[in-house]
Amino acid sequence: MTRPVSIDAALQDVLDLDRDRLALLAATDQPKVGYVSIQTPEEILLAAGAIPFRLTGEFSADPDGAITYLGGNYCSYVLSCLGEGLAGVYGFADAVVFVDACDMRKRLWETWARAVPGCESWFVELPSDASPLSKSFFAGQLRKLIRRLEQRYGRVVGEEALREAIARCNRTRELMQQLQDGNRRGRPLLTGQQSIAVVKAATTGLKDEFNGRMAALLDATASHEPLAGRQRHRVMICGSYFDQPAIVEVIEATGADVVCSDISNGVKYFEGRIDPDNEPVAAIADYYLEKHTSARRIDTDVRLRHMFDLLRDYRVDSVIYFALKFCDTNLHDYPYIKEKLRERKVPVLFIEGEHNGTNIASIKTRIETFLEPRFF
Ligand code: SF4
């Protein structure tokens, strides 16, 4: 492949993987297995010869169909994913893996099993802490998943294949961490939404394509100095599933930079690395439990300490906490997190919205009122 030379062209190459995700996935011969949580061990699916891709919920044309099955008091990410399943958007997929990341995704698994024919649903228990016992239990769950994949695809998922898959996924993490490093040092080269779209591109599961295009993007940015100009107000986004270009645009139109997204479409996806020298299944289990800092973690202080580290590393000025309606886990955490942020004098704005179709007009005013006075 000829490497693009400009940052824009290289970036577009990466973002095309997200934009064209359905067509690209449908065009590959390998089996495809979806997932709805970044706690899903992609390495194991890759080692079994499958392509692990994330369901984004953005192609659901009829969420009402999903409401018929689940009811209206579900978060709109879950409803949209079920809507996609019902509409056959992922007709190319063999199965979807559901890890027990929250109650709503557990209900999604149960419903998917009954309502989406031709696409199996597999469930993996996910402990909500990272004790030695939990790691050992989770490793057992992963071995069960491996056996299921071996039966399904008639191949042995051996140590060598697992090590190779770990190396490919670690390479993805390393490349994304390199891109993100610039945000710690100065003004981001990418907009907040571009950064989110880069993560989404990584979750298409086309790892080698992604790694190649990301390496080209890093090459293109290598000689680029941090953006000049007055330092801008630095914002971190956190909370529920977040893919809201309109909100990011409003934040950045005020003159602020989104320097860090502590979400599954942000740093949570690519933090850390799997120890390549450990026994592969144990190493995968350790990694996913240790990096688990979402609202579903039983000890909120683990999540909070992780947030404080990000606030320090990215020199964050303000936090925007976004919760999808009915996202109990994030809504439940918010009062405690708000109190702790305020003790540290970190301003925080709470926004509640929908996955597709948040009312941006009212949110725009609130964001402007929150951010603009802080610039002076
Ligand atoms: S947005 Fe909240 S309720 Fe919905 S899937 Fe994520 S954690 Fe679960």
- Mean pLDDT (whole number) for 276-293: 96
Q: Is 79 in the pocket of ligand 1 (CB under 6 A)?
A: no
Whether 347 contacts 339, CB under 8 Å:
no
Tell me: the pLDDT tens digits for 335-353?
999 999 999 999 999 999 9
* Distance from Cα 294 to the centre of ligand 1, integer Å: 10
Residue 223 above 80 pLDDT?
no
pLDDT, residue 1, reads 47
- Mean pLDDT (whole number) for 235-244: 96
Q: Is 329 in the pocket of ligand 1 (CB under 6 A)?
A: yes
Residue 5 above 70 pLDDT?
no
Query: 188: which DSSP letter?
Result: -
Q: Is 32 in the pocket of ligand 1 (CB under 6 A)?
A: no
* Distance from Cα 78 to the centre of ligand 1, integer Å: 7
Supply φ then ψ for residue 223, to 5 degrees: -90, 5
Query: Class assignment of domain 20-156?
Result: alpha beta
CA dist., res. 354 & res. 242, Å (int): 9
pLDDT, residue 184, reads 87
Alpha helices in the chain (DSSP H): 7-19, 21-27, 42-47, 63-70, 76-86, 103-115, 132-153, 159-185, 192-202, 207-222, 245-253, 267-270, 280-290, 300-313, 328-343, 360-371
120-124 vs 257-262, strand pairing mode = unpaired
Tell which residue, 46, 61, 360, 94, has the closest CA to residue 203. 46
* Distance from Cα 70 to the centre of ligand 1, integer Å: 14
Q: Is 241 in the pocket of ligand 1 (CB under 6 A)?
A: yes
* Distance from Cα 303 to the centre of ligand 1, integer Å: 16
SS3 state at 53:
strand
pLDDT, residue 61, reads 72
Tell which residue, 326, 210, 220, 321, has the closest CA to residue 269. 210
* Distance from Cα 328 to the centre of ligand 1, integer Å: 8
pLDDT, residue 62, reads 75
Q: Is 82 in the pocket of ligand 1 (CB under 6 A)?
A: no
Q: Tell me what percent of the residues of the chain surpass a pLDDT of 90.
A: 86
Pocket test for ligand 1, best of 75, 107, 321 (most atoms within 8 A of CB): 75
Tell which residue, 34, 29, 33, has the closest CA to residue 56. 34
Whether 90 contacts 34, CB under 8 Å:
yes
* Distance from Cα 338 to the centre of ligand 1, integer Å: 19
Which is more confident, 296 or 49?
Answer: 49
pLDDT, residue 356, reads 80
* Distance from Cα 241 to the centre of ligand 1, integer Å: 6
Nearest CA to ligand 1 atom 3: 327
pLDDT, residue 185, reads 82
- Mean pLDDT (whole number) for 169-187: 93
Q: Is 104 in the pocket of ligand 1 (CB under 6 A)?
A: yes
Atom of ligand 1 nearest to the CA of 105: 5
Q: Which amino acid does the sequence have at 358?
A: T
pLDDT, residue 226, reads 62
Atom of ligand 1 nearest to the CA of 355: 1
Strands of the sheet with 348-353, listed across from one edge: 257-262, 234-239, 318-324, 348-353
Residue 293 above 70 pLDDT?
yes
Q: Is 240 in the pocket of ligand 1 (CB under 6 A)?
A: yes
Q: Is 242 in the pocket of ligand 1 (CB under 6 A)?
A: no
* Distance from Cα 60 to the centre of ligand 1, integer Å: 17
Whether 201 contacts 18, CB under 8 Å:
yes
Q: Is 77 in the pocket of ligand 1 (CB under 6 A)?
A: yes
Q: Which amino acid does the sequence have at 302?
A: V
Whole-number mean pLDDT of the chain?
93
Strand partners, 54: 35
Whether 324 contacts 318, CB under 8 Å:
no
* Distance from Cα 103 to the centre of ligand 1, integer Å: 8
Q: Is 292 in the pocket of ligand 1 (CB under 6 A)?
A: no
Q: Is 126 in the pocket of ligand 1 (CB under 6 A)?
A: no
Q: Which two tokens stand for residue 251?
A: 């934040």
Give residue 228's Cα distance to chain centre. Answer: 30
Nearest CA to ligand 1 atom 8: 102
Atom of ligand 1 nearest to the CA of 240: 1
- CA distances for 296 relative to 147, 240, 309, 332, angstroms: 27, 10, 19, 10
Q: Tell me what percent of the residues of the chain surpass a pLDDT of 70.
A: 96
Tell me: the pLDDT tens digits for 82-134?
999 999 999 999 999 999 999 999 999 999 999 999 999 999 999 999 999 99
- Mean pLDDT (whole number) for 126-143: 97
Go through 175-211 and write b for each residue having 16 or more CB atoms within 10 A of its CB, e for each that does not. bbeebbebbeeebbbbbbbbbbbbbbbbbbbbbebbb
CA dist., res. 258 & res. 245, Å (int): 12
* Distance from Cα 326 to the centre of ligand 1, integer Å: 8
Tell which residue, 190, 298, 202, 177, has the closest CA to residue 245. 190
